[in-house]
Amino acid sequence: MENSIDASCPRAAAAASPVHTSGVVIWDSLTDTCFGSAAQGSVTSVPSPPVEAIRDSVASIKSPAVFRVLLAEDSRANQMAISRLLRAQGVDVAVVDDGSAAVQKLVDERAEFDLAFFDINMPIMGGVDALRQVRAACIYMPIIALTASVAKDELQGCLDAGFTNVTTKPLQLKLCREILAQHGHTLPADKAKSPSESQPRAAAPPPPAAAPRGLQPQHEALRGRHILYAEDSIPSQKILKGMLDRAGVQCTVVEDGKAAVHAALHASPPFDGILMDCDMPICDGWEATREIRKAMGPQTPIIALTANAMKGDREGCLAAGMDDYITKPVKLALLLDVIAKWIL
């Protein structure tokens, strides 16, 4: 697909130029389309037309003080989760509830952003219709489509409509960083690595002589990582801790949410991740997560463990500040897949 730029449009020339952010020039080139796994998130790029005259002035371009992102998303839970990820990377985020509000900001108010995320399915005005109005106003800033899942034909439809990229929800930390870096944002030095990588690590227990059956190559990288597990059921504690031990993952167990908050806030170095049972006495997993987020922010991934996969559970987890959730009974491969997704 080739974007056509109207030279008479007052904003087209500037918008069609390469992206100048943080001293980096990003030139999109037409490459083979790559379709990734929807479960892990996928990004597909389309070209932006370069303007030859701009190349000579690259050296004089200075980095903007703030990298600004517009997020158009109707789900309150997704708003919180995505904006939390972005702000943790030093990004200034403006959130709107639907496509018409995004059009108002970009077209009517002429607010300037470095990047935008549009959810495809929103009330009042969806992401595709909003995008068309933005492009019709000769605004060619990068806009990424957000969708829960995407088939090959739907993906091509988004690209044909004019989206720069398409990515699946939930947006993961690693993918979030890749998108920001691709569009010129320089990640803060203290966020470029996980806290456990930037601080000395306590000695981990020796790895088992042989990996348990069912482990995939990506699971090997979890050896020596340290997980906090909050669970009041003793049988569940033993089963899940045994799984992690067999995979070479160090596991500290606490029996209620209050103990989880204390352990998370006083761990040095911090835990690589937290597994949080939702239903616990004294302080449940929801409240414990809110307390941890209030004190520590989003730096440590928190994965909920719930006995029931009820409608609205995922939204409830995200609204409380959790990053993902797993239903019980827990299977080893799925457990390690989810942990690896958030901490590697």
Domain ranges in the chain are: 12-182, 212-343
Per-residue model confidence (pLDDT) at position 189? 67
Alpha helices in 137-284 (DSSP H): 152-161, 173-182, 195-198, 217-220, 234-246, 257-266
Task: Yes or no: say if 127 and 157 are a contact pair by the CB < 8 Å rule.
Answer: no
Which among 308, 295, 281, 14 has a CA at the least distance from the CA of 140?
14
User: Per the CATH hierarchy, to which homologous superfamily does domain 212-343 belong?
Assistant: Response regulator (3.40.50.2300)
Task: Yes or no: say if 330 and 243 are a contact pair by the CB < 8 Å rule.
Answer: yes
Write phi, then psi, for 192 (nearest 5 degrees): -65, -25
Cα dist from 101 to 73, 129, 140, 143, whole Å: 10, 12, 18, 15
Report how far residue 220's alpha carbon sits from residue 32's, in angstroms, rounded to the nearest whole number. Answer: 31
Q: Copy the structure tokens of residue 190.
A: 């203290």
Say which residue the tokens 């929801």 belong to.
Answer: 286
CATH topology of 12-182 equal to that of 212-343?
Answer: yes
Which among 299, 266, 298 has a CA at the least distance from the CA of 196?
299
Q: Which CATH architecture does the domain made up of 12-182 adopt?
A: 3-Layer(aba) Sandwich (3.40)
What is the dihedral angle through the alpha carbons of 38, 216, 306, 271, rounded to the nearest 10 degrees? Answer: -100
Task: Yes or no: say if 217 and 226 are a contact pair by the CB < 8 Å rule.
Answer: no
Residue 242's CB: how many other CB atoms inside 10 A?
12
Report how far residue 187's alpha carbon sits from residue 323's, in angstroms, rounded to the nearest whole number. Answer: 20
Which among 120, 27, 26 has a CA at the least distance from the CA of 67?
26
Per-residue model confidence (pLDDT) at position 150? 73
| Cross-strand pairs, 305 | 277, 326
Mean pLDDT for back-to-back runs of 10 residues, the chain (344 residues)? 48 43 38 39 50 44 72 88 87 93 94 94 91 92 88 81 88 87 81 42 47 65 92 91 91 94 92 92 89 88 81 74 87 89 84
Per-residue model confidence (pLDDT) at position 73? 93
Cα dist from 79 to 98, 140, 214, whole Å: 11, 24, 36
Per-residue model confidence (pLDDT) at position 10? 46
Amino acid at 303: I
Report how far residue 198's alpha carbon sits from residue 329's, in angstroms, rounded to the nearest whole number. Answer: 34
320 Ramachandran zone, left/alpha/beta (phi>0; psi -120 to 50): alpha
Report how far residue 60's alpha carbon sits from residue 5's, in angstroms, rounded to the nearest whole number. Answer: 25
* DSSP structure class, residue 206: P
Report how far residue 23's alpha carbon sits from residue 62's, in angstroms, rounded to the nearest whole number. Answer: 6
Q: Is 95 helix (H, G, I), strand (E, B) or coil?
A: strand
Report how far residue 163's alpha carbon sits from residue 37's, in angstroms, rounded to the nearest whole number. Answer: 19
Which among 17, 20, 15 has a CA at the least distance from the CA of 185?
20
Q: Copy the structure tokens of residue 279.
A: 């239903």
Per-residue model confidence (pLDDT) at position 212? 53
